[in-house]
Every structure is written in structure tokens, then in C-alpha cells.
Amino acid sequence: MATLSPNRAAFVREKILAEIRARALDDQLPPEMELAKAYGVHRLTVNRVMAELQREGYIERRRGKGTFIMRFNKEVQRASAKAKNGEIALVFPDYFSFDLWSKLRHIEDAALSRQLGSFQYKIQREIKDESIVEVIRSRPCRGAIIQPPGSTIDPGIVEKLDGLGIPVVLLACTEHTALSQRVYSIHRDYYQEGFIGADHLIRAGHRRLGYIANEPWNEGG
């Protein structure tokens, strides 16, 4: 069975999500054949991406009628027969980026290898921090991994997450986890990455440098 190229899947997914953002709730999307022609890909590629978006709660495919938009803070459950050791909560913003998509795939693979299922919840950027705590508290889980939607993390929220009694990993830079017992912060050193990139360009002779961000990391960037 042929595998779907991650880059091609990401391209098609981004295009379809752009269609979703441009339309209202319950709007009908164009047929798969029309989308495949517009994006220059095979219909099978569009079909696979649409199936994934349906599992994640972005769209609803109604037999004999077409595909319609579902857009809200939403729960996404990826069922697995191997999930014998419980599940972990994955909470992340409701937008697409290849970086986030890649992280989730690695997390899911690692969880399944340990016979853990994943309970996913996609949140809008305007959601309050307290609501994230309630999302995790809403059902039993062995742990949680959170990509905060905002630029800052309130220390009071870290304390509440710590009080859940399960390990929680924040994919963000924050010093508020230092005194917690169960909340951890993991993040890339973007400043160092930027320095290395700029230094490389300067050493290559470039003097006019610019930076373009194509992913809504947070409110401050």
C-alpha cells in the first residue's frame, strides 16, 4: 500500500483548512474531485486528508449530501485496540502548522507503543487558561501534554495543573514550573536557533536579513 507523503498531506491539509477558515459553520465544502483539481493532486490524497479532518472534528461528511464544516472547541478521540494502559490528554490550539502536526504524530506513536490511547482537545486561541484545566479534569487520564495558545502562562494555572495529580507537560517556555511537582516545561531554544541562522547568513556575506513567521505561535509573536 502506497504511503501518503507527509509534505503533500500537509500541503493539502493546509489548503483545506484555509477553505474552512474562510467559511461559516455548517457551510458546504467543494467536492473532493474539485479540490483535487484545484490543488493539483490525486483525489485519493484529498480523500485521506478529509478522512483525517473528519476524525479530528473539523468536518462532517453527510452521505448523499456532501462535506460540511464543524468549527468549535472540540474533543477528538483516536480509538485504538492497543490502548490498554489508559490514555493521555493532548490539548493544543485549533490551527494547523506542520510543526504541530509533526509533534502530535510523534506523541501518538510513542503513546501507542506503550499501549496508551490519546484524548485530544482542540481549543480556540481565545480560551481561558482555567478552561484548559477543566478539559483535562473532565475525564480520567494518565497524563497531559499541552501546547498553550497564548504568549504567557499564569503561575496560578500551573498550580492548578499540578493539583490534578497527574504529570503535565507544557510545550512552552515558562519558569513557573520550577516549584511544581508534576508540571514540566519543554521547549526549543528559538533564540539560539535564530542566532545560528543569522550568523550563518552573515558569514556567507549577506547583510540585509529579514524574518517571516508563517505560524501563529502566540499572541506576542
Q: Which residue has the cell 504541530?
A: 100
Q: What is the pLDDT of residue 110?
A: 86
How many Å apart are CA 158 and CA 163, to the nearest integer?
A: 9
Q: What is the pLDDT of residue 214?
A: 56
**Is 100 exposed, middle or buried (CB count within 10 Å of its CB: 0-12, 13-18, 19+)?**
middle
Report the predicted TM-score, pTM, of the whole model to 2 decimal places. Answer: 0.56
How many Å apart are CA 42 and CA 35, to the nearest integer?
A: 9
Residues composing the chain: 221
CA atoms within 13 A on the CB side of 88: 19
Pairing assessment for the beta strands 87-93 and 74-78 based on DSSP bridges: unpaired
**Rounded to an integer, what is the distance from CA 118 to the centroid of its chain?**
13
User: Per the structure block, which three cell numbers stand in for 172?
Assistant: 512552552
Encode the chain (221 residues) as per-residue pLDDT tens digits: 344 455 778 888 888 888 887 777 778 999 999 999 999 999 999 999 998 888 777 788 888 889 988 755 555 555 444 567 888 988 888 776 777 778 888 888 888 888 888 888 877 665 666 777 887 887 788 999 988 876 567 788 888 899 999 999 998 878 888 888 999 988 877 778 888 989 999 999 998 988 776 555 544 33
**Three-state DSSP string of 8-34:** HHHHHHHHHHHHHHCCCCCCECCCHHH
